[in-house]
Amino acid sequence: MASQTKKLSLILIPLLISFLTSSVQSGGIAVYWGQDGREGTLKSTCDSGNYVIVILAFLTTFGNGKTPVLNLAGHCDPSTGGCKSLSTDIQACQAKGIKVLLSLGGGVGSYTLSSASDAQSVAEYLWNNYLGGTSSNRPLGNAVLDGIDFDIELGGTNYYDVLSKSLSSYSSKGRKVYLSAAPQCPYPDAHLGQALSTGLFDYVWVQFYNNQPCEYQSGDITKLTNSWNTWTSKVDASKIFIGLPASTAAAGSGYIPPSTLESQVLPMAKKSSKYGGIMLWNRYYDVLNNYSGQVLKSV
């Protein structure tokens, strides 16, 4: 009888370990790239092995009849065709299984959507110039990006739901168009509430920084926890990420020391089945602080 019990234990213990391991949510790291020429190349960003998603920042002008403008800071000048050389880097990233998205908006720019038809026109432009469509002058060359990120912080608040629906509809042409968003942590986000209500977003990286009512503060994760629980319970998205500054210099507030992230924040966040990982602003500050390298195994 004792030998049978021992044999049963030898069978059950590995199964229990497997169950417990599979029940713990694991995630990845997304990072914004493009707003500082000192951050290194896109290829070196992907070669680091630290990221699963890289977001190119930003398309700073679009909508309301304006000619869209790509702004990759010190990296290249799209007006002279200088950013087409990034096509090789984008494809190299994708060959590693890393998704590369284009972010719309940002904290500085000239963008708004004036009507539903305007939103549809922007979607068509994005499809033909950055996604799976065709154009005679694609700013990033022939590379086909994996999707579009919404970092809407300025301008009007309407018609981004139409834009998300229009972009999503292009997935029917054979290649999925991933949608992501970077709302501020106060819920609901003033600019992205309507878009997120569509339930079409694959990734939502909530900005838990520069927002004191819902961010980490001096060893206290209470406000962050309450906000995280709100976002994960109310937003219909495939995966939700904790958006963080990669160093104290990357934001005015909300920086979480890596040790605190690992010991307090991630165990809390991983209780949600929607946990997707963390998002870092941005690659330059991550290079300086090696934040992703410090927390990679825990994320």
Q: Sign of the CA dihedral 24, 239, 298, 266?
A: negative
- Neighbouring CB atoms inside 10 A of 222's CB total 9
CA 92 – CA 196 distance, rounded (Å): 31
DSSP designation for 206: E
Residues forming beta bridges with residue 150, ordered by sequence position: 104, 181
Q: Of the residues 39, 124, 153, 262, which is catalytic?
A: 153
CA 134 – CA 129 distance, rounded (Å): 6
DSSP designation for 24: S
Instruction: Identify whether the C-beta of residue 18 lies closer than 8 Å to the C-beta of residue 232.
Output: no
Phi/psi region, residue 73 (left: phi>0; alpha: psi -120 to 50; beta: rest), is left
Q: Is 262 a catalytic residue?
A: no
Bond from prior residue into 282 cis (ω within 30 degrees of 0): yes
Q: Copy the structure tokens of residue 48.
A: 């680091």
DSSP designation for 198: T
Contacts of 291 (CB under 8 A, 6+ apart): 244, 246, 247, 258, 280, 285
Q: Copy the structure tokens of residue 36.
A: 């500082």
Q: Sign of the CA dihedral 190, 195, 200, 201?
A: negative
Q: Which residues are catalytic?
A: 153
